[in-house]
Structure 1
Amino acid sequence: MLLRPRQKVFVERAVDALDEHGNTLGVAPTGAGKTIMLSGVVGRMLEGTDAKAAVLAHRDELTAQNVLKFAKVNPKISTSIVDSRTKSWRGRTTFAMVPTLARSANLDLLPALDLLVIDEAHHVAADSYRRIIDKARDRNPDVRVFGVTATPNRGDRRGLRPVFSNVADQISIGELIASGHLVPPRTFVIDVGAQEALKSVRKTVDDFDMKAVDAIMNTAPITEAVIRHWREKAGDRQTVVFCSTVDHARNVTEAFRDDGVAAGMVHGDMGEAERRSVLRAFEKGDTQVIVNVAVLTEGWDHQPTSCVVLLRPSSYKSTMIQMVGRGLRTVDPGEFPGVVKTDCIVLDFGTSTLLHGCLEQDVNLDGKTGDGEAPTKDCPECAAQVPLALRECPLCGYLWESAGLGDGEATPLADFVMSEIDLLKRSSFRWCDLFGDDAALVANGFSAWGGIFFLHGRWHAVGGAKGQRARLLAVGERTVCLAAADDWLNENETDESAHKTRSWLNQPATERQLQYLPPQFRQDFGLTRYQASALLTFQFNKGAITNLVASAADIGRAA
């Protein structure tokens, strides 16, 4: 497997920081490929040694999937698992679940480690993590500690500096939107008569006083207004709603149902089986709206979710980022045929966006966050005061042009978008414009190929590999499709087979290649060997590509 260029930079910076400091933290949001990158770091640190590593996580649902990803990046490194069912340290890298490992009997079996990796590293302030870290340092005082997290600034303001002295790298949400690995959020701040009252709600140790929030937001007129605005702006989208209390969530769920919308509810007091049943109904599409109370903030994703409704404020930016992040994933059409997602609508009926502004965050290892409201600007159309980082006025829809920004103003998220030329340059593969009309691009590896094709106003990404049928990878925006096709090549190729700069690519097409190409290409004396290879790939797979793209276009029109 081949890492994306940005992932390689992340790994290199992390390894350099571990060599220099003995510990480091990497910040990477949803969509960055956290497991791939931490696997890359482990591979680099264990390469050419007999060193031993452990990867800590606090949930075991994805352990098997993470081990498979690790094996793709590091096929020569053996693995083992320590969880509630299995307790084996035989592998050179062990994936260990914190709740299991933190128990004294299991912790006593911890071997001397050379590298301890902590996924969701913002949890390291918890006693269970500290016990494991302390034991690892007892066993080997020189053990290196590497953490990865999307949200380094904890809600309780407990800093991570007792474990991490430095930050090696931070990938921003803007970068991932620019590279096509997340969809952009479109945020609307909507006052349904509650904003002034919400501004007076006191903060507790963890967040705003949710009982006080409930007293303001949990009323029939406000809930009716919320559903009316939702229908106007996002009524055709699968939606996740964040509420303040269980009673609030129950009333909102009933209001959606009374309005004819299939809705489900999950909260922390529900049994595990009942919660899974409700989530399964949402994921199957049997319900359109899922309402929750502090259950789906972290560690849950359903790709087709393209609307996030905030019916509670968040006093900490990290909480807001986690909630909005539930709707930023791109969609795999193999899992969700006919679903096309180009953005995520965020309906903020509270004060989080006004308080925190954009979704990017500054890392502070001491747990300090900025006090006061985010910097603002005035909308020239409606005179509303909005966060400086917004590009679209949430009240009247006015759009700020990037050239109109004054000196010292923050750059809106939309202005992170790179030109496609930059995206193509960053790829490890050479992309060919097949017919010179910019409607079909193909790239080849030794084991796989990927392509993007334009039809009926949408782009479609298709990929194939030896021993595998061609498959649809993405549908929607060009950048998202290009990212999906490039990731397919990365997944199926290696550094040795990524031949973007090899000299033979520019040599003239061979006689054998010309023999199989249509007549019009045989007269192109400037045709290179690689261009001929891309054309042949398209020709040999034209039937499968045509069927996949046409079927996706037909499903999309029907949907």
Structure 2
Amino acid sequence: MILRPYQGRAVKNCLDALKKHGNTLLVSATGSGKTVMLSAVAGERLTGGGRVLVLQHRDELTGQNSRTFRQVCPDFPVSYYCADQKSWRGQATFGMVQTLCRDTALDSMPRLDLLVIDEAHHVAADSYQRIIDRARALNPDLAVFGVTATPERSDRRGLAGTFDNVADAITITELVRAGHLVPPVGRVIDIGTQDQLRRVKRSAADYDMAEVEAIQNTTIHNRQIVDYWLEHSSDRPSVAFCSTVKHAEDMRDAFRVAGVAAEAVHGELGTKERRAILAAYDRGEIPMLCNPMILTEGWDAQICSAILLLRTSSQKSTMIQMAGRGLRKLDPRRYPGRVKRDCLILDFGISLLTHGDLNVDAVLGKAKDPAEKGEARKKSCPECKAELPVQVRECPLCGYEFKVELTEGGFYNELEELRLIEIDLLNNSPFRWISLFDSDRVLVATGFDSWAAVTSVDGENWFAIGGQGREAQLLTIANRVGAVASADDFMRANETSRSAKKAAGWMGHPASQKQEQTLGRFGYAGGHYSKIEAAAHLTFNFNRQTIERVMGVAA
């Protein structure tokens, strides 16, 4: 497996931070492949014969993380310490916090070299601290590595007790620019409650949701929301984030009155019922899902392409957490016939006005950043003195907010503040992407074990197709950047760094005599092709019928 450019950068920064500080935190947005990076960091530390424990707080994460680790680091033995297995035999052990925090488990713990904490925003809990204290007692030089998409806690300082620096922060905007998430398009809809919402009291962690509900959850306002959704986004599977359970249920009922098959999910439902509703939503049977924040962690639905913000949030991270549920790209094999180019973020409150416009075109800059080459630019938090990536506006460890200038419309000027990297996928790819025709409508990359094509008929819908031999599969239908990202991911998953480097080196070699003869049979007259250009043209022509069949099925 070949890491994406930002993943390679983050892994390097994390390893450097662990060497310098003995601990570090990686903040990595949903969809970034944080388990791949977690595994790559752990694998580097295992190379010298060390021992690693990876902590999870949910059963399903133990299986998911270990499977990814085996793909990234196939040479290291793995063991499990959880409810039904209790073994330290592997160099890498994947364990459940709830099991490991018990005295018998702590007594059996061997000396560890690296402790990895997934979903590290939970690290301040007593159960985690018991495990960390025991591991450090056995090895005072223990390195602690945390990974999370959402580092915020109500007390904030809990994280600073374990970590004193953040190695890297991979944002939603960076992932959108790289084509790994669909673009969010933000719209603010005033239903007459904005002035009242600005006066809501703020508690330790967020606004008073009971007060928000009293303002937002009225028959008139709910009807306004339903009417707007029916007019502008009824063709999009949607998720509404509400202030309370009652608010979610009342919104569900308002949609049902309008003839929409809406459902509400919350903590008061039984697990079986909640799972059944979510499964029906994922099958496309439920167009509107209302919830009071229960779906902000551990749940993503590729099918979702509209998010309704019916509650306000005092922290931008909370707003991004809600918006992030709808930014996953569609897998066409899982959702045949569906196309998802973006995700609408419909704010019926003041979150977007408070924290900034989510429309990616308005917030992404084009400045080059030395961090893209692995050189991490840093700044220091004035309050807790932690070392942080320059792009963060809020310290993940103590909650300090860096001041930024607002535009006249009340939006963050992220063009100037973040100076986000313009990512050129084709230049950053380890593979040579060859444009076959003058129209630039067909791009092909070839390797030793796989090939990929990105093509479009109309210039709007771009198909990413991956193949091994004569077998091909549709990877995605998206904009050009999204299609290239999916195709490049396919090549990275099926080739090695060594094979990619060797194939790319063919750019400087002329086509072989056999390649030229075969090109002639396809009607190519003359021309000077490099060996890799010839390979791309031949791959496309040998697989042209397959590519057209895949595109025809998808259309």
Instruction: Give the TM-score normalised by the residue count of structure 2.
Output: 0.89
Q: Distance in 2 between matches of 1:269 and 1:361?
A: 36
2:466 matched to 1:463? yes
Where does residue 337 of structure 1 map in the other structure?
336
Q: How many angstroms does 1:416 deviate by? A: 4.8
Equivalent AA in structure 1 for residue 398 of structure 2: G
1:116 positional shift: 0.7
Partner of 1:483: 485
Distance in 1 of aligned mates of 2:468 and 2:521:
27
**Letter matched to residue 533 of structure 2:** Q
Q: How big is the shift at 1:519?
A: 4.0
Q: How does 1:376-391 map to 2 (within 5 A)?
A: 376-378=406-408, 385-389=409-413
Please list the CA deviations of residues 50-84 of structure 1 after superposition, one character each: whole Å capped at 9, or x if unmatched.
21101112222243232222111111011122222
- How far off is 1:361 after superposition? 4.5
> Which residue is 1:128 aligned to?
127
Q: Give the distance between the partners of 1:319 and 1:203, measured in 2 at CA.
A: 14
Matches of 1:193 and 1:504, distance apart in 2: 63
Give the alignment partner of residue 398 of structure 2, picking from 355, 362, 367.
Answer: 367
**Conserved 8 A contact 1:81-1:89:** yes
Q: Could you say which residue in structure 1 is the equivalent of 2:203?
A: 204
For 1:505 and 1:356, locate their aligned partners in 2 and report how far apart those are by CA, in whole Å.
47
> Quick check: 1:95 aligned with 2:99?
no
TM-score with structure 1 length normalisation?
Answer: 0.89
Aligned equivalents of 1:358 and 1:481: distance in 2? 25
Partner-residue secondary structure (3-state), 1:141: coil
Could you list the per-position Cα deviations for residues 285-311 of structure 1 after superposition, in whole angstroms to 9, with x for gaps in the alignment?
A: 110111111210111100121111111
Seen in structure 2, the aligned counterparts of structure 1 residues 213 and 503 have a Cα distance that, compared at 3 Å, is closer
CA distance in 2, matches of 1:108, 1:233: 59
1:290-369 matches, within 5 Å, as 290-357=289-356, 361-369=392-400
Q: Secondary structure at the match of 1:345?
A: strand
Letter in 1 for 2:321: Q
Cα distance change, pair 530–222 in 1 and its aligned pair in 2 (3 A): same
Structure 2 distance, partners of 1:447, 1:534, is 14
Query: Within 2, Cα distance between the matches of 1:366 and 1:181?
Result: 27
Quote the Cα distance in structure 1 between the aligned partners of 2:154 and 2:442.
47
Q: Which residue number corresponds to residue 257 of structure 1? A: 256
User: What corresponds to 1:393 in structure 2?
Assistant: none
Please say if residues 194 and 217 of structure 1, whose CA atoms lie closer than 8 Å, have aligned partners that are also in contact. Answer: yes
Structure 1 range deviating more: 512-521 or 433-442: 512-521
Checking the alignment, whether the CA contact within 8 Å between 1:153 and 1:159 is kept in structure 2 is no
Aligned partners of 1:465 and 1:363: how far apart in 2? 45
Q: Secondary structure at the match of 1:261?
A: coil
Deviates more, 1:98-107 or 1:226-235: 98-107
Contact 2:174–2:420 (Cα < 8 Å) also in 1: yes
Cα shift at 1:514: 2.3
CA distance in 2, matches of 1:358, 1:158: 28
SS at 1:61 equivalent: helix
Q: Aligned equivalents of 2:73 and 2:13: distance in 1?
A: 19
Q: Is there any run of 5+ residues in structure 2 with no aligned partner, and where?
A: 359-390
Q: Give the share of equivalent positions with the same residue, in percent.
A: 48
Cα distance in 2 between the residues matched to 1:51 and 1:200: 54
Runs of at least 5 residues in structure 1 that lack an aligned partner in the other structure:
379-384, 391-401, 403-408, 554-559
AA aligned opposite 1:25: L
Amino acid in the other structure paired with 2:62: T
Cα-Cα RMSD? 2.1
Per-residue CA deviation, residues 7-57 of structure 1 (Å, 9 max, x unaligned), is 11111111111111111111111121101111111111111x221101112
Q: Count matched residues.
A: 522
Give the aligned partner of residue 381 of structure 1: none
Specify the SS of the correspondent of 1:517. helix
State the 1:226 CA deviation. 0.8
Matches within 5 A, 1:77-96: 77-96=76-95
Deviations 1:236-272 (A, max 9, x none): 1011111111111111001111111111111011111
Tell me, in whole angstroms, the C-alpha distance in 1 between the residues paired with 2:125 and 2:112: 21
Aligned amino acid, residue 79 of structure 1:
V
Q: Decide whether aligned partners of structure 1 residues 251 and 361 sit closer, same or farther in structure 2, where only a CA change above 3 A counts.
A: farther
1:270 counterpart letter in structure 2: L
**Could you tell me which amino acid in structure 2 is paired with residue 511 of structure 1?**
Q
What is residue 214 of structure 1 aligned with on the other side? 213
Q: Residues 250 and 64 from structure 1, CA distance in 2 versus in 1: closer, same or farther, beyond 3 angstroms?
A: same
Match of 1:508 among 504, 507, 510: 510
Matched residue type, 2:543 = N
Partner of 2:447: 445
| CA spacing shift, 1:371–1:486, aligned 2, 3 Å | closer
1:504 shift after superposition: 3.3
Contact 1:428 1:500 in 2 (8 A): no
